[in-house]
């Protein structure tokens, strides 16, 4: 593992690190904020999965999360959104290929050799964090934005007992019924739509739900509402009587201004579950 940078931040350290990934077959970069408590004890961790076109850097620099995490004594991990580099398949469209991994394991060419973001986020990166840093893997929570909100919700519902809580900002909520999903699932997973269901938060909520608290924030002025389909997830949560809160935030859009406005709420929400 290589240290790209480490900066003092709210009493702790905001670092950027890279490593050779067996899951993706290329070098991967991630950001990690460790609060001051991590100098003495293992701390719980909150994952932030980012959206289309993002790297590890977007949420790390724009979400304004570190101060609240320091106060809560929680680490933050900011993974990249896809494999990258020479020899990694790509597409001219912003919503497929590099920057658009969709947190799945691709089974179709040319994506299959590298696009194994599910294995990377679910298995490889947590093991690395636990080995190299003062991270308590028995206390994990997860959040994300847009494509990352989709990833957070699907990981949380597919990995029982892994996460104490899950939240999302403007998640792609019903990808099997959206152009932000059908296009990518067809490319990465192939035409058999039965393989897509485990990566659809609305279908997972209907089928199994999440054994813990859920928090969803969606801006009313989001220009991607038709692609996100938040009403489908809201209805599935209500029908299942899922423990959780689904909030429509009047006047907010899809940007990091929206995320930074409500990130305090989300970190407090996760901190309560992680320190319970």
Residues acting as catalytic residues = 146, 222, 254
CA distances for 207 relative to 17, 58, 204, 237, 256, angstroms: 37, 33, 5, 11, 31
Residue 35, exposed/middle/buried by CB under 10 A (0-12, 13-18, 19+)? buried
Give the HSE-up count for residue 4: Cα atoms under 13 Å, Cβ half-sphere: 14
Cβ neighbourhood burial of 226 (10 Å; 0-12, 13-18, 19+): exposed
H or E element in which residue 248 lies? strand 244-249
Closest to 151 (Cα-Cα) out of 81, 214, 246, 58: 81
- In angstroms, rounded to a whole number, what is the distance separating the alpha carbons of residues 141 and 175? 23
Per-residue tokens: 158: 């597919």
Euclidean distance between CA atoms 195 and 105, whole angstroms: 11
Cβ(204)–Cβ(158) below 8 Å: yes
Measured CA to CA, the distance from residue 15 to residue 9 in angstroms comes to: 9
Q: Are 211 and 162 in contact (CB under 8 A)?
A: no
DSSP class of 127: H
């Amino acid at each position: 593992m290589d240290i790209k940078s480490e900066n003092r931040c709210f009493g702790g350290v905001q670092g950027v690190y890279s490593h050779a990934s067996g899951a993706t077959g290329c070098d991967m970069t991630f950001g990690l904020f460790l609060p001051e408590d991590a100098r003495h004890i293992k701390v719980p961790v909150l994952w932030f999965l980012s959206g289309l076109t993002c790297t590890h850097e977007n949420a790390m620099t724009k979400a304004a999360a570190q101060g609240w995490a320091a106060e809560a004594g929680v680490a933050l991990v900011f993974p990249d959104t896809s494999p990258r580099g020479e020899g990694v398949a790509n597409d001219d469209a912003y919503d497929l290929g590099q920057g658009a991994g969709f947190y799945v394991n691709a089974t179709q060419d040319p994506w299959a050799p590298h696009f194994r973001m599910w294995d990377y986020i679910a298995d490889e990166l947590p093991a690395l964090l636990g080995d190299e840093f003062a991270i308590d893997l028995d206390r994990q929570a997860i959040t994300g934005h847009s494509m990352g909100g989709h990833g957070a919700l699907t990981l949380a519902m597919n990995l029982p007992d892994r996460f104490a809580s899950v939240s999302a900002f403007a998640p792609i909520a019903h990808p099997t019924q959206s152009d932000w999903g059908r296009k990518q699932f067809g490319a990465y997973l192939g035409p058999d739509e039965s393989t897509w269901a485990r990566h659809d938060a609305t279908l997972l909520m209907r089928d199994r739900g999440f054994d813990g608290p859920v928090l969803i924030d969606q801006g009313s002025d989001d220009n991607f509402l038709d692609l996100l389909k938040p009403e489908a997830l809201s209805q599935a949560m209500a029908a299942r009587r899922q423990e959780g809160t689904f909030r429509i935030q009047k006047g907010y859009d899809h940007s990091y201004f929206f995320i930074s406005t409500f990130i305090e709420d989300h970190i407090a929400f996760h901190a309560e579950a992680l320190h319970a």
